[in-house]
């Protein structure tokens, strides 16, 4: 494999083992209040491309809800974890293992009714060129009038409050997306170019970290419009509109 195409962030087995407790699968569902399924049904979606399978949380849920899901995971450690979770629930995953920047090598144009890039995943790409290239790749595999759903953390809050946060005062409701109480995370380094998060299992003291690109306020919307989506609707912690105090933002984009 071309080394340049491996994601900037390698996930360790240690990190992946913590992921389910970091999400808290049940609480993720409570926090989103059927947002995902409601959006997919609103647009008559049948075939879904889950671009960032992770440990399987959303793909397994959507398959159980009756959607035809292709789950993509480039990271073998995450992929194996998701397959293990699916097996224990008697669910069969249909998987690909593609770098988002190269979807066109294997996936046909206009072949999905929805593409999902969830769990704050685009943040793993650091340059605007890569981010836009990938959004164009996602858009390419969508049928006309079908939808792309992406989310992001409220990084502007982190950038604006970096001093306080680094002193240990990180405001985070824990009700959305990453809801675990046993495993939690917080920024330990903050700059306009990157944020390093430490992730800790409170029971064992085991730690890991990941480094991500902090989108500024308005930046994601700007990228989505550069990628030529016809319409983009913003949600804040799953409620319509922009709330500067939200933990996460969601965008439903129509091709
Ligand atoms: C923060 S995890 C989110 C996983 C899952 N969606 C969730 O909600 O827990 C980020 C995901 O993005 C994937 N990823 C990062 N860069 C990628 C790339 N260039 N191509 C494909 N997948 C990538 C990682 O492998 C990982 O699955």
> Which sequence spans correspond to the domains of the chain?
3-154+216-254
51-89 pLDDT tens trace: 999 999 999 999 999 999 999 999 999 999 999 999 999
Was domain 3-154+216-254 assigned CATH 3.40.640.10?
Answer: no
- Residue 78 CB–ligand 1 contact under 6 Å: yes
pLDDT of residue 4 exceeding 70, the answer is no
State the Cα–Cα distance between residues 94 and 79, nearest whole angstrom. Answer: 11
- Residue 8 CB–ligand 1 contact under 6 Å: no
Q: HSE (CB half, 13 Å, CA atoms) of 6?
A: 8
Which of 124, 155, 240 is CA-nearest to residue 252? 240
Measured in Å, residue 54 CA sits from the centre of ligand 1 at 6
Question: 3-state class of 255 per DSSP?
Answer: coil
- Say what the pTM is: 0.96
- Residue 131 CB–ligand 1 contact under 6 Å: no
To the nearest 10 degrees (0 to 180), the angle between helices 13-23 and 25-32 is: 50
State the Cα–Cα distance between residues 146 and 249, nearest whole angstrom. Answer: 20
124-151 pLDDT tens trace: 999 999 999 999 999 999 999 999 999 9
pLDDT of residue 1 exceeding 50, the answer is no
pLDDT of residue 9 exceeding 60, the answer is no
Using the atom order of ligand 1, give the atom closest to the CA of residue 78: 27
Once rounded to an integer, what is the mean pLDDT over residues 172-185?
A: 95
Using the atom order of ligand 1, give the atom closest to the CA of residue 23: 9
């Amino acid at each position: 494999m071309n080394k340049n195409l491996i994601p900037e962030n390698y996930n360790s087995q240690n990190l992946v083992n913590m992921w389910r407790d970091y999400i808290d699968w049940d609480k993720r569902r409570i926090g989103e209040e059927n947002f995902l399924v409601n959006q997919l049904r609103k647009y008559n979606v049948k075939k879904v491309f889950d671009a960032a399978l992770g440990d399987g949380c959303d793909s397994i849920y959507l398959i159980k809800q009756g959607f035809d899901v292709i789950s993509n995971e480039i990271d073998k450690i995450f992929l194996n974890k998701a397959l293990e979770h699916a097996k224990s629930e008697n669910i069969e995953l249909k998987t690909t293992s593609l770098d988002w920047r190269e979807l066109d090598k294997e996936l046909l144009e206009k072949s999905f009714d929805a593409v999902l890039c969830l769990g704050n995943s685009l943040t793993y790409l650091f340059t605007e060129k890569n981010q836009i290239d990938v959004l164009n790749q996602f858009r390419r595999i969508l049928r006309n009038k079908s939808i792309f759903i992406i989310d992001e953390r409220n990084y502007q809050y982190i950038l604006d409050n970096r001093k306080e946060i680094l002193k240990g005062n990180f405001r985070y409701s824990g009700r959305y997306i990453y809801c675990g109480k046993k495993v939690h995370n917080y920024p330990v380094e903050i700059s306009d170019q990157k944020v390093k998060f430490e992730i800790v299992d409170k029971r064992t003291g085991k730690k890991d970290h990941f480094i991500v690109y902090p989108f500024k306020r308005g930046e994601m919307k700007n990228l989505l419009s550069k990628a030529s989506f016809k319409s983009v609707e913003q949600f804040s912690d799953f409620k319509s509109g922009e709330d500067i105090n939200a933990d996460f933002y969601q965008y439903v984009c129509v091709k």
